[in-house]
Amino acid sequence: MDWTIRQSAKDKVKLEVKRVLRFYKYPPDDEPRATETLLEQAEMHAEELV
C-alpha cells in the first residue's frame, strides 16, 4: 500500500505525527506547520524510494 496515494492512510500518518509531536511537547502553535512540513518531506523521500 502506498500511503502517499490513499487519503485514509495519509490521515493515519498525520495523526501519528501529531501524537509524536505532542508526546515530545512540541509547541502547539507550531504543530500544524511542522506536521505539514514533515509530511511533505516524507512524501518526497517516498518518491525517491519508488
Helices (H) and strands (E) in the chain, counts: 2, 0
Cα dihedral angle (28, 34, 36, 42), rounded to 10 degrees? Answer: -140
Report the pLDDT value the prediction gives residue 27, as an integer from 0 to 100: 94
Measured CA to CA, the distance from residue 6 to residue 31 in angstroms comes to 23
C-alpha cell at 22: 505532542
Q: Is 6 helix (H, G, I), strand (E, B) or coil?
A: coil
pLDDT tens, position by position, 1-50: 577 788 888 899 899 999 999 999 999 999 999 999 999 998 898 888 76
pLDDT tens, position by position, 38-48: 999 988 988 88
**Position 1: which residue type?**
M
Q: Which pTM value belongs to this model?
A: 0.76
Report the pLDDT value the prediction gives residue 32, as an integer from 0 to 100: 93
